[in-house]
Amino acid sequence: MRLTLWLNWQAAFCLVLVVWVLIHDASEASFEDPLNYDTHIAGILKTKCGVCHGDGKQEAGLNLASYAGVVQGGGSGKIVVAGQPTQSKLIEVVTSEDTSIRMPPDGDPLTKEQIGVIEAWISKGLRENAGSSAAQMRTLGFVPQADSNPLDPTNPGLPGPIPQNYPPTQTIPTARPLPIVALAASPRALLIAASRYGAIDLLDPVSCESVGTLGFPEGEPLNLSFSRSGRVLMAAGGKPVRSGSATLYDVVSGKRLASLGDESDAILSADLSPDERSVAIGCTSRLVKIHSTETGELITTIDKHTDWVTAVAFSPDGRTLATADRVGNVYLWDSRSGGALLSLSAHKKSVRSVHWRSDSQVLVSCGEDGLVVWWDAKEGWPSIQRPEAHAQGVLDAKFGNGGELATCGRDQLVKYWSADGTELKRFGLETASDQIPGVKRLPLRVAISSDGGSLIAGDTNGQLHRWSLK
Amino acid sequence: MKTYQVIGACMVLLLFAWVGVLASESFGAEPDLYPSSVPSFRRDVMPVFFRAGCNSGTCHGSARGKDGYMLSLFGYDPVGDYRRTVEEIPNRRINTAVPTESLLLLKATASVPHTGGKLFDSQSELYRTLLAWIESGAPDDLTVAGDGTNSQVSIPEVTSIQFSQDSIVFETAKKTQALRLTASYSDGTTRDVTMLGRYFSNNSSVAEIDANGQVTSHGSGDTNVFGRFNRFTVGAEVITLPPSEGFVWPEPPSSNYIDRLVYERLEKLRLAPSELCDDETFLRRVSLDLIGRPPTESEYHQYMDDPAADKRTKAVDRLLAMDDFSDYQAALWAEQLRVIGGNYSTGATVIKAADRFANWIRDQFRKGQPINEFVAEMTAASGPNIANGPVNLYTMLVHKPQVDPKMLAADYSQVFLGVQIQCAECHNHPFDRWNMDDYYGFVSFFTGVRRKPGVEPREKRIYWDIKSSPAVSPVDGKPRAAKLLGAPSAIDGQGDPRRELARWISDPNNDLFAKNIANRLWAHLLGRGVVEPIDDVRVSNPPTNARLLNGLSDRLRELRYDLRSFVREICNSRIYQLSSQPNLSNASDSRQFSHAKLRRLRADVLLDSIVTVTGTGRNLPQWPEGTRAVMYYPRVSGDTEGPHAGDPFFETFGRSSRSTVCACETKKDPTLSQTMHLVVGDTIRDRLSVAGLTKSLIDQQQPAEQILERLFVRVLSRRPTHQELNGCLQMLEGSSGNLEIYEDILWGMLNSTEFIFNH
C-alpha cells in the first residue's frame, strides 16, 4: 500500500515535471546546446534587468544587453568571475535576502531555476555563444586574397568574376526607385554594381540588364567598391542617423563573406583595400576608421577631419589612403599606420568623391564648387584643374582603367575627359516620360566599364544611362 | 396603420434626417490645410518650417544653420531652401523611395536624435503635409516648358494677412477669445492659416495669446497681440478693463482735437484724466519745454499777475515768438543729425562745416521754414560743405571716411521716418512689412553719393556719381534699382535719385514722415511718444492711441508742417496741461497721457537752468563765453566718429554722445555720479551765491520772508509753502543776515527733485 502510494506520488511528480518542461518557455534552458550567453542567459537578463541595465538606461553604469557589457561590468567593477559563481556579484545580488540589495528591486525575484542557469553558466567559463569556447578570439571567417597582377587595359583578363546563379533575394518595394547613390565598375570583369533600396544590382554594362541581385538588409548601400581582382564587392551604408555597417560579398556566388563596422549613422564613404585586408569607413562622426576584414577589429582611427567624411579611397598599390570631407579638405595617409602624408587644398566646398588612377600616381577629386582636380599624388600639387567642369557642382568623378575620366554634375551633364584633362565628349540625360515637373533630374554617379567601352551614369530617378565610348 | 409601424416609420425618418445633417456638416466643414492635390513647396511645406520653428533664428534659420542644414530665416529664400532641403545631399533629408525614412520627418518627430527636440508627431497635420509632398516626389514650384526647361514659379504669393478681429475688449481677467488668421493670395483667394501662424503678445501681464490664436486676459490695461505668417505680421489690440464699479467718466472739457482724441481712448479704458496743473507749474513746464530754461523772476511775476482768462495761451504765444524757441528746436535737430566738429577727423566734419550746418539749421527754424521742406532741402543737396550748409547731411549723419550707403540709408530712415530698416539687410524684417528688396532698393538712393575735395582746406564736395551702380541683393546677386519704401516698383528716370527721394519725403501724402515728425514733437512735449521708442516704428510696435497719432499727423499736414502752429495747439490742449499727480483710476497708466509725466531735465537744459537761476555763467570747451548748453556741440581735435559728450557734466547727465542717430543716445536714467556731482560737485557749489544777489538783499536789510520768497520764485518758479517758510525761518533763527544759511537753503533747492525734474 505504501509502495503504491509512493509510486503514485512519483508518477505524479514525473507527470508534473514533464508538463512543466513542455510548457516551459522555450527561450530559456534548452539543455541541448552547451550553456552559453546568447541562448540561455541573454533572454533572462533582458526580461528581468533590461529596463534599468540596458541600452536605454544604465544604472550604476551597467549594461546587460550585450555579452561584452556583462563581462565588462559596471560602476562598481566586474559582476561575473569566470568559473566562480560564488565570487560573482551578479549571483550575490539576485540571491540576496536583503531587500535593499536584491535585484531586481521591484517585481518578482529571479526564479531558483533561472539563478541556477546563471550560476552554471558562470562556472562553465562564460561562453558567449554555442560555437565559442570560453574567451576565444572573434573571427569573421573572411580570408583576404591580394591581387598584385597589374591591370592591363588592353587585356583585362576577361571574363573575370561575374555572378553565377545567385540565390533569390527578396526585394523591398518602394514608392519610387531609390536614386542611384552608388555605382561601381569591376576592374577585371564586364560588370557594374548599382545601389537599390536594401539591395545591390549587378548589371551588364552594355545592356544594363541585371545579372544578379544581392540583398543589403542593413538599409541603403551608399558606397559600392569592387576589390582589385573583382572577386569581392564591398557595400557600405545603412539607415541614416540610426545604423551603418559594411558588408563583403563574393561576386561569383553572391554569398555574404563578412560584415563589419558598427556606426550610429549610415556610412557615407568606404573603400576596400587592394590586399582585401582592411576596409576604410568615413562617417558623419568626422572620423575615418580602418577595420580589419579578418577580425572586424578597429585597426586605427583618423580624427583630423572637421566635418563629415564624404570620400575615402585606397590607392591601387595599397600604400596610400585618400580621404576628403564636407568643407573641401583632402588628405593622404599611410594606409597601414594611418600616419599623415599630405594635405591637398583646392576645394572650397564639399568634396563629392576622390578616385585613384590605376597607376596610383594621380588622384582625382571633385566637389560642389564645380572644380575637378587631377592631383600629383606623390608631390601633392594639382597637375590639372578644371574650375567650371560642371556649373553649380560636380557630383562624381571616376577613372577608367586606361586613365580616362568620367564626371557628372548638377548641370545635368555627363562628361568624358582624356588623360590630360581635355573634355572629349559630353552627354545629357534624355527626357524621361515620367519626369515630375519641378523635380530636377541629376546624374549622381558615373562609372567606366573595365574595357573602357561603356560610360554608365545613375540618376536621381533610379535610372541608369549608358553611352558607348568606342 | 398599426402603432408599431408608425413608430418604425418615424425612426427611419429621424435616421435619414440625422444622416443628412451629418453630411451637410461635413460639406460645410472647414477647408483643408492644403486643398490642392499636390502640396506645394512654397505654399504648404515652407509654412510648416515656419510654424514648427525649423527656420527660426535659434535653429536652422541662423546664419550658418545647424549641423550643416541651413534654411533662410523665416523663409526669405525659397529657391535656396528647396535646393538645400532636396538637392544638397541627395536622398538623405528627403527620401522619395521610402518617404517615411526622410530625415526631415524622422528628426522632426524625434524618431532619431534631434537636438531641436520633437516638433510634432506623426498624427499631426504638419507631418501629413510634409509626407504628402515627399510622396509626390518632393517637387519644386516650377512649371516645365515644352523644351524641358524649368521656368518661373507658378504659385500665388501671399499678399497680406488679417486677424478675424482687430480689437478685443475683455471685461475681466481670465476670459478667452479665439482669433483666426487669414492669408490673402495674389490670385485673389484667401486661406485660413490659424494653425500655421506664430503668435506673441507685447505685454503678457495684460493678455496672452497661445499657439492656436486663443487670447486670454490677465491684468487690466491695454496691449497688442500679433500673428505672423509668411513674411507678414498683423496685430490686434487687446484691452482688459479695470472694474467698472466706482468709475465715473468726469466729462472734462476739451480745448481742441487733441483732447477729444485722448479722452476717447481714456474713457474706453476707464482711466479718468487728472486735474489741470496750477499756474506756477504750467509756466515752469512750458518754459522748460519751449525755450529750455525756467522762467525768470520778471517772467514769473508778469504771468502770475495777469488776470486774463487766456493767460496760458498768451504765455505760449510769447514763448513761441522768441528766438530761443526756434534755436532750441534747431539744436535738437542738430543733435539728431550728429553734428560734431573735428578738424582732424578722417571724415568730413571739419569745424567750419559743422558750424555752417548748425547755423543753417538754426536759420531755417528761425524763419519758420516748414519741416518737410527743411528735410527735402537737405536730402537733395550737393556741393561743397563749408559753403553749403544743408549738404552736410551727407557728412554729419555718417562720420566715416567714405560715404557708406547702407549706413546712410538706415540712418536716414530711422531719423526721418522712424523706421529701422537695417534688420532687412540680411533677411526680411521679422516683425514688419519690409523685405530685403525694400532695403536694397532704398540703399540705392545713396549708392552714388560721393565726396571729393572742395575749395577750402579740408572742405568736401558732395556730388552724385552718375556712373554708380545700384545696391546688389545677396540673395541672387542682382542689383535693385532705387525704390521708395512701400512703393511697388523702382523710380523712373535717371540721374540723381535723391531728387525723387526729396520729393517723396516732403509729399503731404507721405504718412510715415508726417507721423514720425508729429510723434517726435509730441514726445518732446509730453515725455513719451504715441509710438515709443520714437525711432522704432513697426507693425509689432503700434501707437498706444492710433487715432491720436493719425489726428496729429493729419493736423501737421493741414498746417503745412509749420512748427509753431503745431506746437501751439499741443501746448494749448488740456492734456498737455494736466497735473502730474495721478488719481485712483490712472495711477498705473504710463502710456495714455492721463496725467503729466515726471521727466528729468535733459543734461543741457539742466545746466542752462542752473546757470539761469543762479545768474552765474558756465564756460563750455572750445566755445565762447555765454554759449547756452543746448546750443553746444562738441568741437574736438581728433576723430569725430566715437562717442563725444564734450563736457564732463554732459557725460554724467547722459547727454547724447552723438555716436549714433538712435534717440536712445539721450539717457535720463539716474546714476550715483549724478547725485554726487550735484551734492558736492563744482557746478552747484560755485554758484550758491547767486552772483551776489543774496548778499545784496541782505545788505539792503530785506526781511527774511521776502528774501526767501525771491529765492523760491527764482529757483523753483513758485512761492514757498507756509511749512517751508517756517522751516527756513527757524534755520535763520530770526537773524536775516546769515549768508551761509541762505546758501544752504539754495543748495537744498538746487538738489531737490523738484528742480531737476519737469513736473
* pLDDT per position as a tens digit, B635-651: 988 778 778 988 999 99
A22 touches chain B (CB under 8 A): no
A439·B112 Cβ contact <8 A: no
Beta-sheet pairing, A192-196 with A183-185: antiparallel
Beta-sheet pairing, A199-203 with B449-453: unpaired
Taking alpha carbons only, the member of A203, A220, A306 closest to residue A270 is A220
Confidence of residue B490 (pLDDT cuts 50, 70, 90): very high
Confidence of residue B86 (pLDDT cuts 50, 70, 90): very high
Confidence of residue B5 (pLDDT cuts 50, 70, 90): confident
> Quick one: cell of A44?
533572462
The three-state DSSP-derived secondary structure of B427-438 is CCCCCCCCCHHH
B31 pLDDT above the threshold of 70: no
Residues 6+ apart with CB under 8 A from A154: none
Are A151 and A186 within 8 A, CB to CB?
Answer: no
Taking alpha carbons only, the member of A326, A245, A344 closest to residue A284 is A326
B115 touches chain A (CB under 8 A): no
A438·B141 Cβ contact <8 A: yes
Confidence of residue A28 (pLDDT cuts 50, 70, 90): very low
How many Cβ atoms from other residues are within 10 Å of residue A34's Cβ?
Answer: 16
Q: Which of A178, A431, A440 sits opposite B91 (nearest CB)?
A: A178
Are B422 and B540 within 8 A, CB to CB?
Answer: no
Are B275 and B584 within 8 A, CB to CB?
Answer: no
A269 touches chain B (CB under 8 A): no
Taking alpha carbons only, the member of A199, A180, A197, A236 closest to residue A395 is A180
- Choose the weakest-confidence range: B194-203, B217-226, B394-403: B394-403
Query: CA–CA separation, B48 vs B590, rounded Å?
Result: 39
A439·B138 Cβ contact <8 A: yes
Confidence of residue B24 (pLDDT cuts 50, 70, 90): very low
A interface test, pick of B91, B92, B134, B152 with most A CB neighbours within 10 Å: B91
Distance in Å, alpha carbon of A368 to nearest chain B alpha carbon = 9
Query: CA–CA separation, B419 vs B430, rounded Å?
Result: 14
> Quick one: cell of B482?
532705387
* pLDDT per position as a tens digit, B668-688: 999 999 999 999 999 999 999
A390 pLDDT above the threshold of 90: yes
Higher per-residue confidence, B561 vs A11: B561
The three-state DSSP-derived secondary structure of B56-105 is CCCCCCCCCCECCECCCHHHCCHHHHHHHHHHCCCCCCCCCCCHHHCHHH
Query: CA–CA separation, B515 vs B523, rounded Å?
Result: 12
B-chain residues within 8 Å CB-CB of A176?
A: 96-97, 137
Smallest CA–CA distance from B151 into chain A, residue: A438
Are B461 and B383 within 8 A, CB to CB?
Answer: yes
Are B283 and B303 within 8 A, CB to CB?
Answer: yes
Q: Which of A197, A435, A438 sits opposite B97 (nearest CB)?
A: A197
Q: Is the peptide bond before A34 cis (omega within 30 degrees of 0)?
A: no
- Computed over every residue of chain A, the mean pLDDT equals 87
A240 touches chain B (CB under 8 A): yes
pLDDT at A135: 42
SS3 B286: helix
B135 touches chain A (CB under 8 A): yes
- Complete DSSP assignment for B585-599: TTTT-SSS-SSPPPE
B25 pLDDT above the threshold of 50: no
B97 touches chain A (CB under 8 A): yes
Are B572 and B316 within 8 A, CB to CB?
Answer: yes
* pLDDT per position as a tens digit, B473-489: 998 899 999 999 989 89
Distance in Å, alpha carbon of B472 to nearest chain A alpha carbon = 21
Residues 6+ apart with CB under 8 A from B351: B341, B342, B343, B635
A-chain residues within 8 Å CB-CB of B148?
A: 431, 435
* pLDDT per position as a tens digit, B494-521: 889 999 999 999 999 999 999 999 999 9
Higher per-residue confidence, A37 vs B379: B379
Torsion angles phi and psi, residue B473, rounded to 5? -85, 135
Taking residues A437-450, what's their average pLDDT?
Answer: 91
> Quick one: cell of A298?
578597429
pTM to 2 decimal places: 0.80
Taking residues B288-308, what's their average pLDDT?
Answer: 97
Query: CA–CA separation, B654 vs B656, rounded Å?
Result: 6
* Cα angle value B727/B729/B735 (rounded, 5°): 150
Confidence of residue A27 (pLDDT cuts 50, 70, 90): very low
Confidence of residue B431 (pLDDT cuts 50, 70, 90): confident
Query: CA–CA separation, B641 vs B398, rounded Å?
Result: 8
Beta-sheet pairing, A329-334 with A210-215: unpaired
Smallest CA–CA distance from A445 into chain B, residue: B90
Taking residues A383-401, what's their average pLDDT?
Answer: 94
Confidence of residue A438 (pLDDT cuts 50, 70, 90): confident
- Choose the weakest-confidence range: A49-58, B49-58, B741-750: A49-58
Residues 6+ apart with CB under 8 A from A138: A295, A296
State the helix-helix crossing angle for B739-750 and B704-716, rounded to 10 degrees: 30
pLDDT at A222: 96
pLDDT at B34: 39
Half-sphere exposure of B426 (CA within 13 A, CB side): 8
Higher per-residue confidence, B151 vs B530: B530
> What is the percentage of chain B residues whose pLDDT exceeds 70?
94
- Complete DSSP assignment for B393-427: HHHHSS-SSS--HHHHHHHHHHHHT----GGGGTS
Taking alpha carbons only, the member of B347, B341, B362 closest to residue B621 is B341
Confidence of residue A156 (pLDDT cuts 50, 70, 90): low
B15 pLDDT above the threshold of 80: no
pLDDT at B169: 96
B23 pLDDT above the threshold of 80: no
- Choose the weakest-confidence range: A350-359, B24-33, B335-344, B436-445: B24-33
B-chain residues within 8 Å CB-CB of A174?
A: 97-98
A439·B91 Cβ contact <8 A: no
- Choose the weakest-confidence range: A211-220, A314-323, B29-38: B29-38
Distance in Å, alpha carbon of A441 to nearest chain B alpha carbon = 10
0.85 surpassed by complex ipTM: no
pLDDT at A26: 43
Confidence of residue A346 (pLDDT cuts 50, 70, 90): very high
B743 pLDDT above the threshold of 90: yes
Reported residue count of chain A is: 470
| Fold (topology level) of B158-240 | Immunoglobulin-like (2.60.40)
B138·A181 Cβ contact <8 A: no
Domain locations in chain B?
1-30, 41-151, 158-240, 324-506, 511-572, 599-684, 688-758
B87·A410 Cβ contact <8 A: yes
A101 pLDDT above the threshold of 70: yes
Taking residues A248-252, what's their average pLDDT?
Answer: 94
A250 pLDDT above the threshold of 90: yes
Query: CA–CA separation, B738 vs A306, rounded Å?
Result: 82
Confidence of residue A75 (pLDDT cuts 50, 70, 90): confident
B744 pLDDT above the threshold of 90: yes
Query: CA–CA separation, B483 vs B499, rounded Å?
Result: 13
A23 pLDDT above the threshold of 60: no
Higher per-residue confidence, A81 vs B127: B127
| Fold (topology level) of A183-468 | Methylamine Dehydrogenase; Chain H (2.130.10)
DSSP B631: G
A197 touches chain B (CB under 8 A): yes
A239 touches chain B (CB under 8 A): yes
pLDDT at B508: 95
Q: What are the residues facing A263 on neighbouring strands?
A: A244
A171 touches chain B (CB under 8 A): no
Confidence of residue A148 (pLDDT cuts 50, 70, 90): low
Query: CA–CA separation, A28 vs A112, rounded Å?
Result: 13
- Choose the weakest-confidence range: A101-105, B462-466, B608-612: A101-105
Chain CA centroid to CA B45, Å: 35
Domain locations in chain A?
1-26, 31-123, 183-468
DSSP B446: T
Quickly tell me which residue has 531641436 as its cell: B116
CA distances from A276 to A144, A146, A258, A311, A339 (A): 5, 6, 12, 19, 20
SS3 B482: coil
Q: Which of residues 47-86 of B touch A (CB under 8 A)?
A: 68
Smallest CA–CA distance from B79 into chain A, residue: A438
Query: CA–CA separation, B754 vs B715, rounded Å?
Result: 10
- Computed over every residue of chain B, the mean pLDDT equals 91
Confidence of residue B258 (pLDDT cuts 50, 70, 90): very high
Smallest CA–CA distance from B155 into chain A, residue: A438
pLDDT at B405: 96
B375 pLDDT above the threshold of 80: yes
CB pairs under 8 A between A and B: 70
Higher per-residue confidence, A140 vs A303: A303
A interface test, pick of B37, B38, B95 with most A CB neighbours within 10 Å: B95
SS3 B209: strand
A437·B139 Cβ contact <8 A: yes
pLDDT at B147: 55
